[in-house]
Amino acid sequence: MSLAGTTGILEGVDRGPVVVPRRRPRRRSYLPYALLAPSLLFLGLFTYLPVVRVIVESLYDHPHGTGAVTATFVGLGNYTKVLADPAFRQAALNNLVYALGTLIPTLALALAFALAVQRSSRFSAVLRTVFFFPSLVPLVAAASLFFFIFLPGIGLLDYYLAKIGVSGPNWLGDSDIALWSVIGLTVWKNAGYYMLFYIAGLQNIPRDTIEAALIDGANAWQRLRYVILPALLPTTSFVVVIALINLLTSVDHVIVLTRGGPSNATNLLLYYIFQAAHENFEIGKAAAATLLSVVVLLAISLASMRIMSRGSHHEA
């Protein structure tokens, strides 16, 4: 039979109506939304609502800390006042020096501690406990401890310096040294905490990569520079973000040790905001300084996250 005849027979067959099965309408479940509702409510009340309020407060001027009734809308006037304030510029410069002076030695010590205790042994477990112990001490307690260490003449640091015939400076009273004393306290407290992240990062490095470098004749410094550090780039980016947030939101040690002095040498941004809001009653100015600080921190965090993402793609 030819193809044309077959086609004619098929065309003559009555196939009948085509029945398309109906899909059952999906029942929309509201149970997940009901379970998430309390968390979303508290997140909105205690996270996003305060952010919105700070944004609104930064656009108003409250004379001598008065309420919202006598507030005057000034637009970006508070931002102009903050940027023109020499105390704010000094606090921003101090924060920059404080961040760089704290981050670099803290990350270097944290990596050195992690490399020293990455192998599982009883001695490494003891060292991990010793290195991690300062991070368990509250910041106020650590500042009180270092206050007695930094006492001029009779402090613990000057006592041991006198043993070798060195006269210590006024660690907290000299404007050239006070900020570095605060940096020393911060490094001592945070290095052990960031060590934990580097230990986790070192455990994720494939052993085959390090063994291949050993076979190629790479020494310890070359393995660290060309194998370990590139592999730890996502970890370092994450630690930098965490460290910057910690540095910007910690001011207890400054209040205990120096209260921003001497001559605003240790006045950080958060302490400047505290003074503007609670001592000078300049609520709008404090809100504007808060938003400027958050914007800078957000930009640095996004850049670090980008580096972290690139490092992850590089590892993949």
Domain boundaries, the chain: 93-257
CA angle 185-188-194, nearest 5°? 125
Contact between 292 and 82 under an 8 Å Cβ cutoff? The reply is yes
Q: Which amino acid is at 292?
A: L
Using alpha carbons, select from 191, 209, 205 the residue that is nearest to residue 234. 205
Whole-number pLDDT of residue 134: 92
> Which residue in this structure is represented by tokens 């993949």?
316
Which CATH fold topology does 93-257 show? MetI-like fold (1.10.3720)
Whole-number pLDDT of residue 65: 59
User: How confident is the chain (316 residues) per 10-residue block, as mean pLDDT?
Assistant: 48 53 63 89 90 89 67 87 92 92 94 89 88 92 91 87 87 91 94 93 86 83 88 88 85 89 89 88 90 86 74 55
Cβ neighbourhood burial of 134 (10 Å; 0-12, 13-18, 19+)? middle
- Phi, psi (5° rounding) for residue 62? -110, 100
Please count the other Cβ atoms lying within 10 Å of the Cβ belonging to residue 104: 11
| Dihedral sign for Cα atoms in the order 65, 66, 68, 72 | negative
| C-alpha dist (Å) from residue 292 to 221, 237, 249, 256, 269 | 41, 22, 14, 25, 10
Whole-number pLDDT of residue 152: 86
Whole-number pLDDT of residue 1: 46
Are β-strands 72-73 and 60-61 bridged in parallel, bridged antiparallel, or unpaired?
Answer: antiparallel
Task: Give the 3-state secondary structure of residue 168.
Answer: coil
- Output DSSP code: residue 24: P
Whole-number pLDDT of residue 10: 46
The rounded distance, in Å, linking the Cα atoms of 256 and 186 is 13
